[in-house]
Structure 1
């Protein structure tokens, strides 16, 4: 299997000196505007008949501008319900995309992402232990439980993978086993310890749900993802080196063990924050890095922000689709990402095989 990374089977120079192509220029100029438009339009989608102009008016009003001139109900729909939901979707999409880039680089495997490697399942188990059983609820909290679960899950998967030989393919197989183990533990805890109403709510949340988004969720996830992405971007050259293998990275002066541990902890933190706020959402971190790599190339200084931007736009629209596809009911976001992600990943694999 061709490995993702700088210069590996890509025919492009990984360094920052590579000329910007017309496609990249279009992406960087239109991408941020597309994200803003996507958030504004997504807010208008739903039972209440809203217009983009009303959304802009409410935001301007809340930021100290002119009065929006709308009823309190319509203002509440925009500011308290749909805007935080769309912003949280953007933050979660960006975090999952960046996590996928980091894992694919460190493990040199095109199939690596937080969901496949069991990190999301472990974070879900940690969060459910706090919610259902109340373990450490006072001192750890939901996000802390998710982070501990993510770290424990990846530690277990890493031990299994390296005990089986340490190859990237075997690590992926260990991740599949870890995913099933923690998914089973989560189901066992929920089904044996929660009442029927709580069981239904937790199971829906585990499939990925942004329906309960609040402004404090937006602030928390946005802060974690922004800080972790900035730190990962600062280590972009380290990830460029890792894509050629550990020995090559060490020969270039990279502290292999310390750098890998730091990047993996950043990935676990982003995954835990996303899971704590929105449940387990799969395939975003698997598919988006490949799509972004096709546009901006394999160099991580460009790949990381490009994937974050693409993930933010994607999940905003996925959440909007999940709200209306079977209205008045909602689909879990994770169901929609799987339905979209599996065919997209099949196309990516087919194209890579042809090359």
Structure 2
């Protein structure tokens, strides 16, 4: 349980009132204005929480933010969104602004690059701001979902290496169903140089080692179907012997467009992806995509905001929260189990 004083209490101190005077003022003030310790915040008191987004203009983030705002509204909490716009340096600046403002009781982080945010998030915690981390790893170990920064109220994330492992396993299986040896694969990174992308790719290549799967071409999507379409068009022109395309949901959408624009049949290519969007679930169900590894942005947003409410209203920290607990098929969508899943974002 955190015992740090909330932001509204620190704001009284920041105007130069001594500790003794602050206590006297609290005794005389009305119940609505009196600062209170964490875990003893009346439900009717409006609290302020900042959301440091990965990127607002992203279909993956839309349902996450929607759930954050829904749970916040139900608990009389106002959300202010700060757009990281895929820029970790911008996120650092935004968090510094949140701290300096003295206006926020809590902050939800969705890191672009976790290692870059550790120090500034620690500063926020030290300043008495309740922090919940969601979706992306906050730290430098991308093989675990365990908290890497002491003082977080909750940590609700996916593990990039797990994603890469499951993606690799499904690619190996897909190639085996067609008895392809070698099985020539085009792998589309989202952001190749990102720590997340590196961890995912390292896990993927570890799984395919020793199998018939051979990566013969690579590209980048930047989580953008149009960029993926261009990349896949170039790859297929240079490598007409591609058997399988592996990438995120946005990448697969671009791949479909590239294949159709080239006048080729979609059935000529195996496709395996990750994201678990509505689009991918439908494509897996109809057999266009062999398999897809689920991601759950709406669930992460809901669980993260519920943890924030528990920390601010009740003084209870939830620690590590697994958003993938009890998913069917280990969170891998196949044609056989596709009807057991509900995509949480459009794709």
More helix by share: 1
TM-score by structure 1 length? 0.30
TM-score by structure 2 length? 0.31
Higher relative CO (CA 8 A, sep ≥ 6), structure 1 or 2? 1
More strand by share: 2
Structure index of larger Rg: 2
